Each structure stands twice: as C-alpha cells, then as structure tokens.
Amino acid sequence: QDNRISIWSVGDLGNAGLNNEYQGEPQLLCDIRHNGDVMDMQFLDQERIVVASSTGTVTVFRHHQNNQTLSANQRWEKAHYHVDQDTCSGGAACTGVICSNPEIVSVGEDGRINLFRADQKDAVRTIDNADSSTLHAVTFLRTTEILTVNSIGQLKIWDFRQQRNEPSQIFSLTGDRVPLHCVDRHPNQQHIVATGGQDGMLSIWDIRQGTIPVSLLNAHEAEMWEVHFHPSNPDHLFTCSEDGSLWHWDASADVSEKPSFLHQGGRSTTYFSHNAINQSVVSAWLSNDPTKDRMEITNLIPNQTLSVNSLDVLGPCLVYGTDAEAIYVNRQLFA
C-alpha cells in the first residue's frame, strides 16, 4: 500500500577487496513516498528520475545530491485514464516510460501514447487511441521515432514528425496473439530489436525487412518481464522472467576466440575494447539460427524461485529486483 522511490549507493568499484568482492552494504541515501505502484522508472539525467504510476500519473523526481533528499519536480496527473481525466477514479496504469532528455514518452493500459518535454506543463503530443489493447512497453528507435509493444503480440513504430495518429509500421508475432511485455533496441544497429512476452520466448526482429521476427528463441518457462542489450557490448543480451531466472545470452562470434572485454586497471577504466563491436558480431543476432553454434546462455541465478521483475546492466554491473523484495548487484558480469 505504501510505495516509495529510493536512491541507494552501492559504493565504488575502487573499494573492491582481495577477490574483487565488494566491501560493505548498499546504503539507502534517501527515499520519498509514491502514490500508486511503481510500474517503470528511468533516469532523465544525472539528478532527475521519471516514474510511471499505476494511477496513470507520470512524475519527475529530483535527487538533491548536496543534502541527499528527493522531491517531486514535475507531475503530469492522470496522463493515462480510461473514461475521462477528471473523474476521481478513472486513472489507467502507466505501464512504461522512456527518456531521451528532454523528451519523455509514456504508454499505458488505456492504449494512449504521451510525448512530454521536461519543464513543460502540458503534453507536447498525445495519441489518444494509439492502441485498442494495453501498451506494455516503449523504447526510442531514433530521436523522432518510438517502438511500442502491446498485449496482442504487435510491435508498432510511431513517427512524431507525422501529424496523423497512425503507426508508420506494424509487426506481429504469427499465430497466437501472445502479449509482449518488453522491448529493447540494439544500441548500435537501430534496426535490430528484441522483445519478450507472456510465453517466455525471446524474439529478434529486423525492422528493415518483413513484419515477423527474424528468430524466435525458446527461453523462459513463464512471462519474460524485461529484455536488455548490453549498452556498450550488444552481442550480450539479458532477460528475466516470472519463473525466477535471469539469462545472459552471449552471441559473440566464437566462444573460444573471445577477446577479454575487461581491462585491468584503476577506477576510470573503459571496460570494453571498441573493436569488439564489429559487424560480424552484431549480425550474430540476425543469423538464421543464432543458437546453432554462436550462442552461449547462462542462467545467472540458478536456484532462484521467485519472479525476477526488473533488470538493468552497465559496464561489468548487473542489477535486478525480485519478488523476494530484494535488489541484487552483480559486479563481475564478464569475470
């Protein structure tokens, strides 16, 4: 009933002990009450966090680092609603937000898409009946285009330069209309997109060709809640599921020839050698059967039983949250 947004410090890589184990517990820096369930959240910049609520409201919180407090900086009340915005109970859950500072896009159960700009009180653009079903997630394709996934297995591209409120392209899973829950775009190859849904399958799409996925990969036993390409090393992909597993998909060219991505050194090390991200590695996601000899899959939490609801990844760090009401940080992804 009582929900909060919390900022934690998990310390610095500089404090690692003898065996690279992190010394010390994560520390709660500050928290603030949040009205409704937190459906999604994302940093807008170094100090602002955009949060999606089950009440349909989108809030921007500011983290004041000088005195470690959080405050509500901006709020779009009932950005998502079923009947009309003014009734006291009519809010529809905002299911996803994505930021590309200063732009913020929100999607919801009401099938609505909002484009906000930080520091502007009103929405820049609203597409009211963007979808007749629930929109579950959204990501930027490029600065003016977004991708949404919905509860009947469709992936849609929207171009904000177009005045009409229609998607510029629609892709769909063939056969059963399996709800899609999550979507992520390849960081370097913007035409490669990964989605996951209710049946636990991982779908890889090439939005330049065809309207169906390039490959469907058997993954989890239950709903897939989140999918993420590694931002600086995108031949690595991470998925998590209601079945309590978190999978690391490694599609780098040949496992034996793998370059070492981690350079030893001090705190300011860049973690990835740039030449590792070359064409041949990237196209691994588009080969006809990526699993044949190119894919290594590791379950990073083998004995977990409760749902893994969310994950994020950066450098050598993976962070994920589970139904055990705990947040886990793994700092040695490529060790």
218 belongs to a structural domain: no
pLDDT at position 280 = 39
Q: Based on the structure, what is the number of domains in the chain?
A: 1
Check the CA dihedral 283-285-286-290 and report its sign.
positive
Q: Which tops the pLDDT comparison, 130 or 288?
A: 130
pLDDT at position 176 = 78
Question: Which band of pLDDT confidence, cut at 50, 70 and 90, is reported for residue 264?
Answer: very low
Q: Which residues pair with 98 in a beta bridge?
A: 105
Residue from 81, 115, 111 nearest 97 by CA: 115
pLDDT at position 59 = 98
pLDDT at position 294 = 66
149 belongs to a structural domain: no
Question: Which band of pLDDT confidence, cut at 50, 70 and 90, is reported for residue 103?
Answer: very high
Question: Which band of pLDDT confidence, cut at 50, 70 and 90, is reported for residue 263?
Answer: very low
135 belongs to a structural domain: no
Residue 140: burial class (beta carbons within 10 Å; 0-12, 13-18, 19+): middle
Residue 259 has pLDDT above 60, yes or no: no
Least-confidence region, from 8-22, 125-139, 152-166, 291-305 = 8-22
Tell me the mean pLDDT in the region 234-241. Answer: 96
Question: Which band of pLDDT confidence, cut at 50, 70 and 90, is reported for residue 175?
Answer: confident
Count Cβ atoms below 10 Å from residue 17 Cβ, excluding itself: 9
pTM: 0.86
Residue 281 has pLDDT above 80, yes or no: no
Q: ∠ CA 302-305-307 to the nearest 5 degrees?
A: 110
Tell me the mean pLDDT in the region 215-219. Answer: 90
Show the 3-state SS of 91-142.
ECCEEEEEEECCEEEEEECCCCEEEEECCCCCCCEEECCCCCCCEEEEEEEE
133 belongs to a structural domain: no
Torsion, Cα 165 171 173 177, to 10 degrees, reads 10
pLDDT at position 255 = 46
* b/e per residue 284-295 (b: at least 16 CB within 10 A): bbbbeebeeebb
pLDDT at position 275 = 34
14 belongs to a structural domain: no
CATH for 304: 2.40.10
pLDDT at position 128 = 93
Q: ∠ CA 330-227-285 to the nearest 5 degrees?
A: 105
Average pLDDT along the chain: 86
pLDDT at position 19 = 53
Residue 304 has pLDDT above 80, yes or no: no
Give the pLDDT confidence of 28-86 residue by residue, as tens digits: 999 999 999 999 999 999 999 999 999 999 999 999 999 999 999 999 999 999 977 66
Write out the residue range of the structural domain in which residue 320 sits.
232-253+296-334
322 belongs to a structural domain: yes
- The percentage of residues in the chain with a pLDDT greater than 70, rounded to a whole number, is 83
Question: Which band of pLDDT confidence, cut at 50, 70 and 90, is reported for residue 200?
Answer: very high
Residue 256 has pLDDT above 80, yes or no: no
